[in-house]
Amino acid sequence: MTAGEAIHDRFMAKIWITELRMAELDDKQLGLIDRYWRAANYVSVGQIYLMDNPLLREPLKAEDVKPRLLGHWGTTPGLNFIYVHLNRVIRERGTEILYICGPGHGGPAMVANTYLEGSYSETYPEITQDEKGLRELFRQFSFPGGVPSHVAPETPGSIHEGGELGYALVHAFGAAFDNPDLTVACVVGDGEAETGPLAAAWHSNKFLNPHVDGAVLPILHLNGYKIANPTLLARMLNAELRDLFRGYGYEPLFVEGHEPIPMHRAMAASVDLAMDRIRDIQREARKEGWSGERPRWPMIILRSPKGWTGPKEVDGKRVEDFWRSHQVPVSNARGDAAHRKILAEWLRSYRPQELFDEQGRFRPEIAALAPEGEKRMGSLPHANGGLLKKDLVLPDWKSLALDVGQPGETIAEATRLMGAYLREVLRLNAEARNFRLMGPDETASNRLDAVFEVTDRVWMEKIEPYDGHLAREGRVMEVLSEHLCQGWLEGYLLTGRHGLFSCYEAFIHIVDSMVNQHAKWLKVSAELPWRKPIASLNYLLTSHVWRQDHNGFSHQDPGFADFVANKKADTVRLYFPPDANTLLWVTDHCLRTWNRINVITAGKQPQPQWLTAEQAERHCEAGAGIWEWASTCPAGEEPDVVMACCGDVPTLEILAAVDLLRRELPDLRIRIVNVVDLMTLQSHTTHPHGFTDDEFDALFTKDRPVIFAYHGYPYLIHRLTYKRTNHDNFHVHGFQEEGTTTTPFDMAVMNELDRFHLVMAAVRRLPNPGMGGERVVELCEQALAEHASYVRQYGEDMPEIREWSWSYKTAADAGD
Amino acid sequence: MTAGEAIHDRFMAKIWITELRMAELDDKQLGLIDRYWRAANYVSVGQIYLMDNPLLREPLKAEDVKPRLLGHWGTTPGLNFIYVHLNRVIRERGTEILYICGPGHGGPAMVANTYLEGSYSETYPEITQDEKGLRELFRQFSFPGGVPSHVAPETPGSIHEGGELGYALVHAFGAAFDNPDLTVACVVGDGEAETGPLAAAWHSNKFLNPHVDGAVLPILHLNGYKIANPTLLARMLNAELRDLFRGYGYEPLFVEGHEPIPMHRAMAASVDLAMDRIRDIQREARKEGWSGERPRWPMIILRSPKGWTGPKEVDGKRVEDFWRSHQVPVSNARGDAAHRKILAEWLRSYRPQELFDEQGRFRPEIAALAPEGEKRMGSLPHANGGLLKKDLVLPDWKSLALDVGQPGETIAEATRLMGAYLREVLRLNAEARNFRLMGPDETASNRLDAVFEVTDRVWMEKIEPYDGHLAREGRVMEVLSEHLCQGWLEGYLLTGRHGLFSCYEAFIHIVDSMVNQHAKWLKVSAELPWRKPIASLNYLLTSHVWRQDHNGFSHQDPGFADFVANKKADTVRLYFPPDANTLLWVTDHCLRTWNRINVITAGKQPQPQWLTAEQAERHCEAGAGIWEWASTCPAGEEPDVVMACCGDVPTLEILAAVDLLRRELPDLRIRIVNVVDLMTLQSHTTHPHGFTDDEFDALFTKDRPVIFAYHGYPYLIHRLTYKRTNHDNFHVHGFQEEGTTTTPFDMAVMNELDRFHLVMAAVRRLPNPGMGGERVVELCEQALAEHASYVRQYGEDMPEIREWSWSYKTAADAGD
């Protein structure tokens, strides 16, 4: 059975094909397609191997070959094959197609194709479309000072780094949401298809609405092998594959073979069928009276040889259609004349003289197969999302602020106010359709449910009459997969939109590596003038460590901050708003930023409130500051001790500790410093938000003890401050990995972050503990003992702790 | 259609069922099963709600109810239902079944069942099998000082924490490998089924060999809802689900309904069918002449209502069969009399008097349904793997050690020697079948391919004649999913076996959160005397940041060490062997340890070798030490400068820097300190491997400049040493997030970790730079300029760098 027959045979079995429209490509068209493909393959091989002699006008010499051969051939011819077939349908139909290249090692293909279509030279004018440019193009590839061997931010037309595998399909869906005219062709390699995130990503079709969203055309590329092994999906039988993908909700079209011309015919027919099907689905869904049913979207399963058209054997060993073609099929072609001969024959097999003219320009009759202008996949604006980004219309956050009364008097859930703010964001940008909220099934549990006053959760499965806030259209995306939430949001942002991901603090580690890769993308993109800034990736981390007393140790981990703090300073911001109004300011601020990763950590539980809107604004703008209203040290004077805090629970505990100290040791001069923006602690030479040493010393003094209550692992504070004058006097309390199922206050006690331990820590460091310190320590020890016994008996915190009676007064009340 | 009919109808459609064996349970058996189930449900609700009055002998009073209601009912009745049906088949067939409870919130069910069968009281004798014990059992649940609301290390019979979701199925397969007599019943919740790791885990069947491994029986439990949402899989039609799981290679048996008796009948029949099918598969595979084909394993898809048998409505709102039953279906039953009435009716609906006798003992006629002794799922030794663990037989590593000659003279790939060592481990333990090697397709690329002399990669798909080292039996497991590698290994270790996971350094972040959860498991387990120690989780991180010059920035991340260092000190070890013989010692050492997470970071590229086997042994046992043979400061005297290093590339660069300094500034007294075991840097009060301050000062001095070349982010060194005497003089060079595609040496230069920058850093800190320092700085700057120009021209490092001519001599040669 030839590939042409195979596809025909399989199509007949598809239930949804009522009319079989095989592309009737004539020999001329087929010939052009094949030549275009050969050109892309030639330019790919050239990048991997050649330093010079780019058109092989002369016999291939040793010095024409790069000394170090670094790059990946295996997946490349398949990617080139797909690219040329997409080019054809874009030209024929005028569709906007975004090409997402999942295979990590597809760099040569994407560079080759964007070069051939002209996008590359427009982006990088020094890489001209002639022999000189071709030489430069070849030389720079995987070369110091040049471009990576993977698809990367440097690659025009890409929103997807080909480094760590697993995220091609989530990026594709993220790009398609709210882009009704866009089709995202997403090539999934059979290596990547083994990963967890990719395996879950197929279910993204349950969140894609053909009425308002674009389409994703997955192309599963089974070329059989990873680095040194066959792949699972390639060795599965077609019958199992068909079951699997029908089970996922797709209709797979199989294209399989190795003879170029029948393969072109089969691929052209499949792409046409898939595009027809997408058009039909969208037409149907965009008519009046659409049933709202999730359609069965098409997908293509392409089985083609790894290293297709490369050397069949080298040194008597199988290379084409085997894992040995994964990287560089012919090693040491510089030093080994026999190998160089194989390379030369291989390159000449594409007949470069038929592809490029005397000046080294791609022959116009072949080049004409590519689309023009912004329809070229290397020039599609969606792949440089900053070009399309519109700023969000944001509400006046102060109009939503809380009237806090006296400090500590008002109890509120900070994230509930944030929910109201996000509701307004959704309302104001409803028409623009450029903001989405992601989360693993926790929008309501995180108290953000005000958003459901103006939108719903998007849901393409059955909706029961008793379901709440599920709808075919909805701007909230909930799925129990942090990978999907993260990946969809990345895809959405990278194509020029905005969003926020709310997550349990402990479980955000699930996407550590994805955040890593996104941070890398942002760092490199920022160095490329042609890449326009995209909206920041914003996190709300809630249900945090100090309120996971009920879920226990497995849910307690504040380490994401440590992880993120290792990334480039330009990219990273960590915010710990201590109450509702500061959270509002921070949220508003983050949504106005670009090219950053903003991590907001804030609790969802009822807590005392501290700052008015005006105070919150001043405090947050500074990033950290002295809370004079709670300090007992007169402004401008040196305190006996600094009590510092960062995070909502640490702030509560520090304020309770100082409250106690104010009453018990009225002469003690205490300064309270609260840190909202953690990066202020770093030096301004390290981080743009960092304080100068003078600013830092003005808060933390040069020599007084600093008791620092921090939300996370204490080490991070030491790491950020070890170069500061007063660092040796920093005593940081934070999470010490002591967690279990207990009460909220007991969690603080177990880790010595509670008011009593903080008081004792302060008293111990005073120069003159005789001023009554011993009595206070006794008092604290007694309180801790009482707490322990109460908690063991009743399973909840003592009323005195839960309803602490605050002595703080507002500035006005205090008469100052 | 009743559930009974439904299952019958579906079974008829299964291709592999030749003989339909419906369990002919009589009414008495059904009645017993149902009563057992009611008892488990009763004990579950009791745990969530009751402080006292455990048998409801008196009317339910406010003070009988816990003040804080913390726990999850929703998934519990389904888990109880499954447990009782597994009990029946264990008794009938004598099978060993390990119950893996995927749903995170299944704590009450597993505690209830292990209590009813007696395992719980044997583990915790204070929880007696009478009214008093029942009261304690109820009270301790999700209570300070008690047990978590999730399945946790505290839960007998469990190897799987129910906190972060996604890993039930990988743990199940890990447990089944090399356990031919074990069947692992793995309950996968429909929430968890949405995660990436779980979606990929279904493919684990492609690695399970029925000839030598046990069986996994997945039970996909579709109860419809997550926290506040329907689940994807529950809303999919059965036809799609059947396609999906047939595509994954399973034969699904559907059990669906809500009426208890028909459901018991259907479940019993399904479990029998599944167990028959497993028996048939295993018989076939264990006969002579087995085809070796991957079988189609059975699985059960159980659709039952969330919160089954709980209150149907509360306050007029739907609860049973809806997400509102997820956690505590009736809130505030202590304060609200109407709610308390609902709770009392609910509890009485199970008719506790029929289940427990006057003393509060489970009635023996019902209890008899449970298996006995170690067959009870709460007492299965596999679930306390340390009981079964046999120490590995380990080779004499010195017999594999490298003859290094003069320091720097011999070039070797460190991991290649490790491969030889692992080959011997595999050979010596071949019969015990208790060691496996995991990795995402990189065993050969990581130079561990010596292992293929004695084993193969396990592979249950088609094997082609030209494939290499694929076999039905094999102890190397390669799949392009770090999640699967990690999860399989965890399951394997937790059931008493050994292993090692080799991974690209940058991509180990993919499993950050899994490592987190495993570390938590180890910490809590170590506090439980009845949990026996298990073998350590060993990592080889290779293809590390400094040799990712060819793959570029996306592959460069040394931050896993930072992440792991936040975990409890008892659990974590970080090793950076500088060469092959030290790597051998470290590998040997790690395989002898238990209850730890050992992270070994070592390169796979050819590098100069430094230490003989004897030197390596002495050095590694100390963890860190002075390399006298390379220092110019006489032993016992104070140096002018300390040049410290940790990691193979940093060691190379420090030695090259000192080599240069020795020649240029012969009077300079340099001490070289190499750190293998990073945790020696911490205080001995913080980490068991930590040096005392005296030991630390003896290496790093109290006041001399220390130029520290570290493999990863410099901050970690500061974090570990900020309390040491000489910390202010530490100048750490490491990865500064400056990466791209370049040459290996240029990677070091970009991050100022190269020999020339290190020399300049040292010279700048000398008390008397006039001793010739300026000239040396000039020399270094010139060398860097030459390097830059050479690299940009040729794309490889200068020969002088690649083939540095070392001046070091062995102690013998040096005559000392």
Closest residue on chain B to A200 (Cα): B196
Task: Name chain A contacts of B195, Cβ cutoff 8 Å.
Answer: 196, 200, 480-481, 483
Task: Name chain B contacts of A111, Cβ cutoff 8 Å.
Answer: none
B244–chain A nearest CA distance, Å: 4
Query: pLDDT at position A654, please?
Result: 98
Hey, is the C-beta of A144 within 8 angstroms of any chain B C-beta?
yes
A214–chain B nearest CA distance, Å: 21
Q: Determine which of A481-485, A563-567, B24-28, B570-574 has the lowest per-residue pLDDT on average.
A: B24-28
B162–chain A nearest CA distance, Å: 8
Task: Name chain A contacts of B523, Cβ cutoff 8 Å.
Answer: 553, 737
pLDDT band at A14 (very low <50, low <70, confident <90, very high): very low
Hey, is the C-beta of A766 within 8 angstroms of any chain B C-beta?
no
Mean pLDDT within A27-51: 96
Mean pLDDT of chain B: 94
Q: Which A-chain residues 316-355 have CB contacts (< 8 A) with chain B?
A: 318, 322
Q: Would you say residue A190 has pLDDT above 70? A: yes
Q: Would you say residue B765 has pLDDT above 80? A: yes
Q: Would you say residue B388 has pLDDT above 90? A: yes
Q: Would you say residue B252 has pLDDT above 60? A: yes
Q: Would you say residue B436 has pLDDT above 80? A: yes
With CA atoms as reference, report the closest residue to B513 among A599, A521, A740, A560. Answer: A560
Closest residue on chain A to B741 (Cα): A148
H or E segment at A540?
A: strand A537-542
- CA distances (Å), origin B564, targets B161, B230, B567: 19, 36, 6
Check CB contact under 8 Å for A194 and B240.
Answer: no
Closest residue on chain A to B555 (Cα): A163
Q: Would you say residue B815 has pLDDT above 60? A: no
How far is A480 from B552, CA to CA, in rounded Å? 32
Task: Name chain B contacts of A235, Cβ cutoff 8 Å.
Answer: 461-462
A377–chain B nearest CA distance, Å: 23
This prediction has a pTM of 0.96
* Residue A31: partners with Cβ closer than 8 Å, 6 or more residues away: none
pLDDT band at B770 (very low <50, low <70, confident <90, very high): low
pLDDT band at B811 (very low <50, low <70, confident <90, very high): low
Hey, is the C-beta of A480 within 8 angstroms of any chain B C-beta?
yes
Hey, is the C-beta of A445 within 8 angstroms of any chain B C-beta?
yes
pLDDT band at B11 (very low <50, low <70, confident <90, very high): very low
Length of chain A: 816
Strand pairing report for B706-710 and B730-733: parallel
Query: pLDDT at position B14, please?
Result: 35
Mean pLDDT within B165-180: 98
Of B206, B513, B559, the CB nearest to A509: B513
Query: pLDDT at position B816, please?
Result: 45
Query: pLDDT at position B193, please?
Result: 98
Of B464, B507, B516, the CB nearest to A509: B516
Q: Are B174 and B130 in contact (CB under 8 A)?
A: no
Q: Would you say residue A454 has pLDDT above 50? A: yes
Residue whose tokens read 């003005």? A698
* Residue A289: partners with Cβ closer than 8 Å, 6 or more residues away: none
How far is B34 from B308, CA to CA, in rounded Å? 13
Q: Are B159 and B102 in contact (CB under 8 A)?
A: no
A226–chain B nearest CA distance, Å: 7
Task: Name chain B contacts of A152, Cβ cutoff 8 Å.
Answer: 552-554
How far is A603 from A416, CA to CA, in rounded Å? 10
With CA atoms as reference, report the closest residue to A194 among B483, B480, B196, B509. Answer: B480
Which value does ipTM take for this structure?
A: 0.96
How far is A105 from A226, CA to CA, in rounded Å? 11
Query: pLDDT at position B812, please?
Result: 60
- What share of chain A in percent tops pLDDT 90? 91
Of B152, B199, B722, the CB nearest to A196: B199
Residues A607-623 have pLDDT tens digits of 999 999 999 999 999 99
Task: State the best of A513, A681, A716, A751 to mutate against chain B, taking most chain B CBs within 10 Å.
Answer: A513
Mean pLDDT within A461-479: 96
Of B67, B191, B231, the CB nearest to A796: B67
Closest residue on chain B to A554 (Cα): B163
Check CB contact under 8 Å for A480 and B194.
Answer: yes
Mean pLDDT within B294-298: 97
Query: pLDDT at position A812, please?
Result: 60
Query: pLDDT at position B6, please?
Result: 43
Mean pLDDT of chain A: 94
Q: Would you say residue B17 has pLDDT above 60? A: no
Q: Are A590 and A598 in contact (CB under 8 A)?
A: yes
- CA distances (Å), origin A794, targets A750, A765, A797, B62, B341: 18, 35, 8, 13, 22
* Residue A304: partners with Cβ closer than 8 Å, 6 or more residues away: A77, A78, A81, A221, A222, A223, A255, A256, A257, A258, A263
Q: Would you say residue A534 has pLDDT above 80? A: yes
How far is B451 from B433, CA to CA, in rounded Å? 15
Query: pLDDT at position A785, please?
Result: 98
Q: Determine which of A76-85, B88-97, B271-280, B802-811 has the lowest per-residue pLDDT on average.
A: B802-811
Of B147, B467, B557, the CB nearest to A516: B557
Beta bridge mates, A709:
A645, A733
Check CB contact under 8 Å for A552 and B516.
Answer: no
Query: pLDDT at position B616, please?
Result: 98
Angle formed at CA B762 by CA B756 and CA B766, multiple of 5 degrees = 145
Amino acid in position B44:
S
Check CB contact under 8 Å for A228 and B459.
Answer: no
How far is B190 from B302, CA to CA, in rounded Å? 10
Closest residue on chain B to A523 (Cα): B737
Q: Are A624 and A675 in contact (CB under 8 A)?
A: yes
Hey, is the C-beta of B398 within 8 angstroms of any chain A C-beta?
no
- Annotate A561-592 with DSSP letters as a single string: HHHHHTS-TTTEEEE---SHHHHHHHHHHHHT
Closest residue on chain B to A456 (Cα): B229
Kindly list the structural domains of chain B, giving each domain's residue range(s) and its CATH number in brackets, ordered by start: 27-371 (3.40.50.970), 397-607 (3.40.50.970), 625-813 (3.40.50.920)
Residues B579-588 have pLDDT tens digits of 999 999 999 9
Check CB contact under 8 Å for B68 and A516.
Answer: no
Closest residue on chain A to B727 (Cα): A722
Amino acid in position A308:
W
Residues B46-83 have pLDDT tens digits of 999 999 999 999 999 999 999 999 999 999 999 999 99
pLDDT band at A20 (very low <50, low <70, confident <90, very high): very low
Q: Would you say residue B420 has pLDDT above 70? A: yes
Beta bridge mates, A691:
A683
pLDDT band at B404 (very low <50, low <70, confident <90, very high): very high
Query: pLDDT at position A569, please?
Result: 81
pLDDT band at A19 (very low <50, low <70, confident <90, very high): very low
Q: Which B-chain residues 108-137 have CB contacts (< 8 A) with chain A?
A: none
How far is B17 from B6, CA to CA, in rounded Å? 16
Of B240, B249, B555, the CB nearest to A163: B555
B629–chain A nearest CA distance, Å: 33
Of A202, A552, A566, the CB nearest to B148: A552
Q: Are A399 and A421 in contact (CB under 8 A)?
A: no
- What share of chain B in percent tops pLDDT 90? 91
Closest residue on chain B to A521 (Cα): B554
Query: pLDDT at position B773, please?
Result: 86
Q: Are B12 and B20 in contact (CB under 8 A)?
A: yes
Query: pLDDT at position A811, please?
Result: 61
Q: How many CB pairs under 8 A join A and B?
A: 331
Hey, is the C-beta of B640 within 8 angstroms of any chain A C-beta?
no
Query: pLDDT at position A770, please?
Result: 62
Task: Name chain A contacts of B444, Cβ cutoff 8 Å.
Answer: 227-228
How far is A538 from A570, CA to CA, in rounded Å? 15
* Residue A657: partners with Cβ closer than 8 Å, 6 or more residues away: A643, A707, A755, A756, A758, A759, A762
Of B68, B200, B507, the CB nearest to A194: B200
Mean pLDDT within A490-494: 98
Angle formed at CA B16 by CA B11 and CA B17, multiple of 5 degrees = 45
How far is A594 from A585, CA to CA, in rounded Å? 16
Hey, is the C-beta of A191 within 8 angstroms of any chain B C-beta?
yes
DSSP three-state, residue A306 = coil
Query: pLDDT at position B49, please?
Result: 98
Q: Would you say residue B194 has pLDDT above 60? A: yes
Task: Name chain A contacts of B312, Cβ cutoff 8 Å.
Answer: none
pLDDT band at B497 (very low <50, low <70, confident <90, very high): very high
A655–chain B nearest CA distance, Å: 25
Strand pairing report for B641-646 and B706-710: parallel
Q: Would you say residue A725 has pLDDT above 60? A: yes
Query: pLDDT at position A104, please?
Result: 78
Angle formed at CA B438 by CA B436 and CA B441, multiple of 5 degrees = 135
Q: Are B455 and B476 in contact (CB under 8 A)?
A: yes
Query: pLDDT at position B1, please?
Result: 35
Count H helices, E strands: chain A? Answer: 27, 22
Q: What is residue A21's DSSP assignment?
A: -
Mean pLDDT within B488-510: 97
B670–chain A nearest CA distance, Å: 26
- What share of chain B in percent tops pLDDT 70? 96
Check CB contact under 8 Å for A512 and B517.
Answer: no
Residues A473-491 have pLDDT tens digits of 999 999 999 999 999 999 9
Q: Are B605 and B413 in contact (CB under 8 A)?
A: yes
